[in-house]
């Protein structure tokens, strides 16, 4: 019985060694131009175009058939999606799972709403890989990943929230905070909803706010942190240094955002996934 991990592209570019893993792309649209969020995407072109674009822009999720195509050839499938409160990807993946199992009796698909996007999803995929390679059954892996998910958190630090506001992910009032006089929007994702909390001025104060939030969410020495940046490597490295100063044995990984996360994080933005205390999510 073979396993496969399938994620939509809100997880950012990923490579999961030791197991078959597939990304199903979302799409970003601005006017008459469309970018498919896969390995061939020209991220520089998308970001540069959107900076000048004054009209409508948005994103679209994979459809049911695209999820079905990604499931093919596997007996046991774990599918991860961006928060269902931010996209229709979870709904499409769930419908595809029902169809796949109906057409293939005895095969299993579990669709996990990450209630997030970006680094936290890669952490989930890495954990899935480890559980599968331990030789656990489908049901045992499912039970363990649900428990692990309860201890993951997503934070963000954004210099602009324009695209989030234009697409109804945050209020226009909240979006006007970021970027004015150097103010950053710092917050977390609560039950799949983007929630600005702090309004620090400048990256140094924003970094201090992020470290404080990590502590409040139960990060301890030796745990994992993943930082994704949208053309903001200096900001990411500043945060990494502060994390390791406080928790020297933490594993801190820096990566670049993919197409979908770059669209919403915008230039200079950070998305952070971390381990910590429990959320008590319900499935």
Please provide the DSSP assignment of 115-130 as one string.
Answer: SS-THHHHHHHHHHHH
244/260 same-domain check: yes
8/145 same-domain check: yes
Identify the pLDDT of residue 179: 66
Residue 39 placed within a domain? no
Residue 47 placed within a domain? no
List, for residues 85-142, the tens digit of each pLDDT value.
989 999 999 999 999 999 999 999 999 999 999 999 999 999 999 999 999 999 999 9
Place of tokens 């005895």: 106
139/169 same-domain check: no
156/141 same-domain check: no
For the CA atoms of 14, 39, 188, 59, what is the dihedral angle to 10 degrees? -150
Distance CA 103, CA 111 (A): 17
Domain residue limits at 20: 3-26+61-149
Residues 189-204 have a mean pLDDT of 89
Place of tokens 């140094």: 204
Distance CA 57, CA 192 (A): 22
Identify the pLDDT of residue 195: 86
* 51 pLDDT higher than 90: no
| Tally of domains in the chain | 2
144/157 same-domain check: no
Residue 135 placed within a domain? yes
DSSP state of 176: T
Residue 34 placed within a domain? no
* 283 pLDDT higher than 60: no
List, for residues 213-255, the tens digit of each pLDDT value.
999 999 999 999 999 999 999 999 999 999 999 999 999 999 9
CATH number at residue 113: 3.40.50.10440
Q: Single out the residue in 149, 176, 196 at which a domain terminates.
A: 149
């Amino acid at each position: 019985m073979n396993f496969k991990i399938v994620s939509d592209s809100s997880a950012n570019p990923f490579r999961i060694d030791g197991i078959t893993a597939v990304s199903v792309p979302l799409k970003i649209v601005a006017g008459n131009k469309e970018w498919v969020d896969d390995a061939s995407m020209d991220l520089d072109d998308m970001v540069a175009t959107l900076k000048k674009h004054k009209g409508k822009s948005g994103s679209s999720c994979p459809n049911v058939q695209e999820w079905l195509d990604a499931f093919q050839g596997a007996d046991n499938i774990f599918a991860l999606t961006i928060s269902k409160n931010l996209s229709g990807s979870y709904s499409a993946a769930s419908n595809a799972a029902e169809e796949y199992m109906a057409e293939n009796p005895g095969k299993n698909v579990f669709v996990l709403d990450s209630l997030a996007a970006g680094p936290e999803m890669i952490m989930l995929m890495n954990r899935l890989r480890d559980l599968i390679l331990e030789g656990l059954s489908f049901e045992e892996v499912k039970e363990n990943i649900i428990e692990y998910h309860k201890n993951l958190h997503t934070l963000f630090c954004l210099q602009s929230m324009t695209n989030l506001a234009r697409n109804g992910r945050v209020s226009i009032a909240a979006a006007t905070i970021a970027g004015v006089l150097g103010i950053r929007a710092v917050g977390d994702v609560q039950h799949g909803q983007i929630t600005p909390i702090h309004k620090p001025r400048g990256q140094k104060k924003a970094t201090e706010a992020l470290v404080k939030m990590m502590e409040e969410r139960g990060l301890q020495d030796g745990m994992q942190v993943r930082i994704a940046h949208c053309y903001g490597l200096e900001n990411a490295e500043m945060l990494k240094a502060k994390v390791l100063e406080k928790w020297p044995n933490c594993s801190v990984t820096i990566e670049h955002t993919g197409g979908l996360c770059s669209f919403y994080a915008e230039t200079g933005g950070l998305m952070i996934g971390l381990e910590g205390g429990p959320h008590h999510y319900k499935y």
